[in-house]
Amino acid sequence: MAARRRPGGTPGSPNSKFTQQELPACKPILTPKWVISVFVLVGVIFVPIGLVSLKASRKVVEIVDRYDDACVPANTTDKLAYIQNPTISKNCRRTLKVPKDMDAPIFVYYQLDNFYQNHRRYVKSRSDAQLRDPKKANDTSTCDPEGTANGMAIVPCGLIAWSIFNDTYGFVRNSKNLPVDKKDISWKSDREHKFGRDVFPKNFQNGSLIGGKTLDPNKSLSEQEDLIVWMRTAALPTFRKLYGRIHNDLKKGDTITVTLENNYNTYSFSGKKKLVLSTSTWLGGKNDFLGLAYLSVGGLCFFLAFAFTLLYLIKPRKMGDNNYLSWNRNPAGR
């Protein structure tokens, strides 16, 4: 059998253009002028983007109020006993001052600190098949230790659903209620594809230890958006989740009275709870990191361009003859 002919070489020869990596390719020569120009170009692009992003972030108005300690009665020494005692009222009233005009919609978040939703055992304690399909109601093999209660399957099962956040907030301004819209606070893809319209809570929070909020057994899981928001676990121990929206403008100097129920137990793991009211811009919520990152990279590029320019002017280096580069040499002259 004849040997297969390789491009640019004799049959069986290892000296083909392919084996010798001599196929046509872009091989730029990084001269000082090219390098300096690229650094300047990147700086010119990144610095304005950083300034615009930072300006957009600074336009966001936020009110952050930590209430987990403030809502504990003054004469309470054992916070854990307080939160676990159902006979003690958990109602609490907080007063917030609006620092700047806040245009609707105003997003209401709850923030938890030191809560590791990314813990491996916690993340795995759920049944996605059960959440989607009513025929999989008994599929609780991955939900330990919250798979069954009183000998029956829990729907939705698992630690994530069991520990759903259950503090509530009500807002009043000038003796008038500020309604909180809780519709469409979850991802549309989650409502339509991950949580079934014909799957209903069953035997939920009926065990000996209650984790968090109870669910309406007459509403399907796709309608229970607080659950859907909570089930999308956070990657970091400090996170915010959307509670609802206020469709009323708030003016600078307005006083907002918040009536809340301090139900959720963060005292057992030294966690913190915060209520956040925030506006948004085209870039989203308040986040200076993106703008600072662009400014940092752009500034670094300008600095390197300046440093290389000085080096090139003070101590220039003679460039070699490009004709001696391997891809510029005449093959016949080898």
Residue 195 contacts residue 221 (beta carbons within 8 Å)? yes
My answer on whether omega of the bond before 145 falls inside 30° of 0, hence cis, is yes
Q: Which helix (H) or strand (E) holds 292?
A: helix 288-314
Provide, rounded to the nearest whole percent, the portion of the chain with pLDDT above 70: 92
Give me 320's structure tokens: 């070699």
Q: Which amino acid is at 197?
A: R
Helix, coil or strand: residue 178: strand
Integer Cα distance of 156 and 162 in angstroms = 8
pLDDT digits (tens, 9 = 90+) for 253-301: 999 999 999 999 999 999 999 999 999 999 999 999 999 999 999 999 9
Domain ranges of the chain: 30-60+282-313, 61-279
Give me 59's structure tokens: 């336009």
Write down the pLDDT at residue 326: 64
Residue 62, strand partner residues: 278
Q: 17 pLDDT exceeds 80?
A: no
My answer on whether omega of the bond before 156 falls inside 30° of 0, hence cis, is yes
Give me 98's structure tokens: 């609006």
pLDDT digits (tens, 9 = 90+) for 175-222: 899 999 999 999 999 999 999 999 999 999 988 788 889 999 999 999
pTM confidence score: 0.83
Under the banding of pLDDT at 50, 70 and 90, the label for residue 11 is very low
Average pLDDT (28-38) is 86
Q: 64 pLDDT exceeds 90?
A: yes
Q: 43 pLDDT exceeds 90?
A: yes
Q: 112 pLDDT exceeds 70?
A: yes
Q: 8 pLDDT exceeds 90?
A: no
**Nearest Cα residue to 251 out of 104, 118, 66, 119:** 104
